[in-house]
Structure 1
Amino acid sequence: MGLTSKGQQSHRLVICAAGLVLMTLLILYGSNNASDAGFSPFHVSTHQALKITDLKKWALREGYVPIYGNKTMNLRCHSCALVSSSSHVLGTKAGQEIDQTECVIRMNDAPTLGYDNDVGNRTTLRVVAHSSVFRVVRRPNEFLHRADKQPIIIFWGPPNKIGKDSKGALYRLIQRVSMTYTNVSCFSITPSKMRKYDSLFLRETGRDRQRSHSWLSTGWFTMVIAVEICDNIKVYGMVSPNHCGKKPVSKKMPYHYYKPRGPDECVTYMQNEIGKKGNHHRFITEKQVFARWAKQYNISFIHPSW
């Protein structure tokens, strides 16, 4: 009876141990699935999250060159409003709050005319991708004839298209704009700084931008620039990294607030995140990095809050 009892106890211990191992594996599997939902190819591990660069130590003046003249990019702000181009800003009535902020940062050809109740009217700094230059130039009354005090535009793009040494058609266009609208200070990001943006993406995500067929988004450049120049940043309209993976699925929202018939935001995010052929913006991966930067650099996200 004693041997049988001991055998039964040993058998029960083996079963309990096996059950514990199985339960642990299930928890880990479920946790990974929940974390990776909707953006599995670019999930940032805890190990990668520790590889953080202090963006406050980046040399601001060395990274930007004037398109025309000898101006210096020396903007500094205590508080900044970074207004995204997402349709989530519509209906927020945040315009007055945005305009009361010391510095207001916008992206590409996101307009204010007709939307000022939600996005405000002032613009201190606008970050423009090479692919958006023509859309900005075609609307000078909106983007260039500004009453703002010395507004700044920073252009970014491949050095062979937008660099000072390229002398290409796009650079010449930007140069004419800078010469014509002297009230606006126009700068381009230097090739060496462009490489630093790539290196930053690699350190923060563990992914090589070129090998992973990725293009950094204007949001990525704008957020880094905002961290460089601002002590406190409020981001308007940007959704959280897991927003598009929520169930039930989030309601459809236009990708841009000024293009109501444009593509759906989440569809755009998901397609870009998992796309392997061609080059894609990894919006969700970038937002995972922004979430980590939030506490380090006094960044808060509102409309929606996260």
Structure 2
Amino acid sequence: MTMRLKRVFKITALLSSTTILLFLYFQNAAVVLINNSYSFVFERAQRTSHICLEDSGNSSWFNERYKPTVPLLLNSTNSVLQRNIFSWWKELQDVRSASNYTKVVDQLFSLFPNEDHYSDAGPDRCRTCAVVGNSGNILGSNYGQLIDSHDLVIRINKGPTEDYEKDVGNKTTHRIMYPESAVDLDDNTYLVLLPVKVLDMQWLISAFTTRHIRHTYTNVPSSIKANKDKVMILHPEFIKYVHDNWAEGHGRYPSTGFLTLIFALHICDKVDVFGFGANSDRKWHHYFDKTMTSFENDSHGGDFENKTINQLHQENKILMYKGLK
């Protein structure tokens, strides 16, 4: 009788454990299938519960390039530029306007937040980020809900969400832009300015005050709808660092997309990348604009940037979602 009871107890315990495991398995699968219809996503659900516990592995290639101490964003305490950095940055613009840099910086931080953003890195932080590029290969991907599930969703230039939510999502926490690519933002989105020239900083001030700057090398909006308490400016030293360390000097300066991706590597613990890449003919178009353009660019080392992005994926430092087209 005792042996029979023990046998029944063992069978009951085994069935209970199996039931619990099956419940957890199908519960996870159901959650993921709601978010995305692709078969590979269940594996991703298994991983996302341990996103920041995973060891992406040591990479000498990555460690040679990554500089954790580089200033990411400009503020009054780090605004004095080293001579070599100022000389490089000055060459990207009208040299005469660069002489106004100190005066313009003083104006900037009397108007916009003067903070040391993203200084909270540490072993307990787990910040997931989606970097959403503008490549047409994202059309038909159904990535929208997956993108929106990230803590931060960083978009680039004019890439819209309206009418494209299914593929690109509708959440935007940060948008990196310059005057010539400026668009209106909602009140909860950070405007992250990419300053290639002092005039870009002057435009930012003007857009929130006098609205007198309407032209740079082309027509630009004289004002912008955005929250002035959520304005950030990429540091010129960071731009040069990306050019030197990651683009290895290819092009005059890095593309906005490439800068955005490296920026995400510095503020996020897990970086997923969407809407990047060209087609097999080395051509690409925006998902919102069918005009085909050359993949390579005189100003940016597009081909080398693409190779570096692919290497980051191979080194398990980012996860690339390449879409369907």
What's the CA shift for 1:180? 6.4
Q: Which stretch of the first structure deviates more once superposed, 76-85 or 101-110?
A: 76-85
Q: How far apart in 1 are the matches of 2:153 and 2:65?
A: 25
Closer/same/farther in 2, CA of residues 126 and 184 from structure 1, 3 Å limit = farther
- Of 227, 230, 241 in structure 2, the residue corresponding to residue 182 of structure 1 is 227
The one-character-per-residue Cα deviations of 1:119-154 (angstroms, maximum 9, x if unpaired) are: 000001111134313xx1xxx3xxx234xxx32121
Q: Match for 1:74: what amino acid?
A: H
Equivalent residue number for residue 7 of structure 2: none
Q: How far apart in 2 are the matches of 1:69 and 1:183?
A: 6
CA contact (8 A) 1:232 1:297 kept: no
1:56 aligns with 2:58: no
Closer/same/farther in 2, CA of residues 53 and 153 from structure 1, 3 Å limit = same
Closer/same/farther in 2, CA of residues 50 and 238 from structure 1, 3 Å limit = closer
Unmatched segments (≥5 aa) in structure 2? 1-59, 80-107, 121-125, 212-222
How many residue pairs get matched? Answer: 216
Q: How far apart in 2 are the matches of 1:59 and 1:280?
A: 23
- Of 185, 193, 197 in structure 2, the residue corresponding to residue 159 of structure 1 is 197
1:299 aligns with 2:325: no
CA contact (8 A) 1:162 1:188 kept: no
**Taking every aligned residue pair, what percent have the same amino acid on both sides?**
22
- TM-score where L is the length of structure 1: 0.60
Q: Which stretch of the first structure deviates more once superposed, 102-111 or 123-132?
A: 123-132
Output the aligned Cα RMSD: 3.3
Q: How far apart in 2 are the matches of 1:158 and 1:226?
A: 19
CA contact (8 A) 2:112 2:231 kept: no
What's the CA shift for 1:160? 2.4
CA contact (8 A) 2:272 2:320 kept: yes
1:269 aligns with 2:295: yes
What's the CA shift for 1:237? 2.2
Closer/same/farther in 2, CA of residues 129 and 71 from structure 1, 3 Å limit = same
1:70 aligns with 2:113: yes
Equivalent residue number for residue 195 of structure 1: 240
Q: Match for 1:221: what amino acid?
A: L
Closer/same/farther in 2, CA of residues 50 and 257 from structure 1, 3 Å limit = closer
Closer/same/farther in 2, CA of residues 179 and 255 from structure 1, 3 Å limit = closer
Q: Match for 2:300: what amino acid?
A: H
- Of 245, 259, 264 in structure 1, the residue corresponding to residue 289 of structure 2 is 259
Closer/same/farther in 2, CA of residues 184 and 263 from structure 1, 3 Å limit = farther
CA contact (8 A) 1:82 1:235 kept: yes
Q: How far apart in 1 are the matches of 2:311 and 2:227?
A: 38
Closer/same/farther in 2, CA of residues 55 and 219 from structure 1, 3 Å limit = farther
- Of 174, 179, 187 in structure 2, the residue corresponding to residue 125 of structure 1 is 174
1:282 aligns with 2:301: yes
Equivalent residue number for residue 163 of structure 2: 114
Closer/same/farther in 2, CA of residues 118 and 184 from structure 1, 3 Å limit = farther
The one-character-per-residue Cα deviations of 1:184-224 (angstroms, maximum 9, x if unpaired) are: 611222333333333324xx53xx35xxx534210121011
Unmatched segments (≥5 aa) in structure 1? 1-47, 273-278
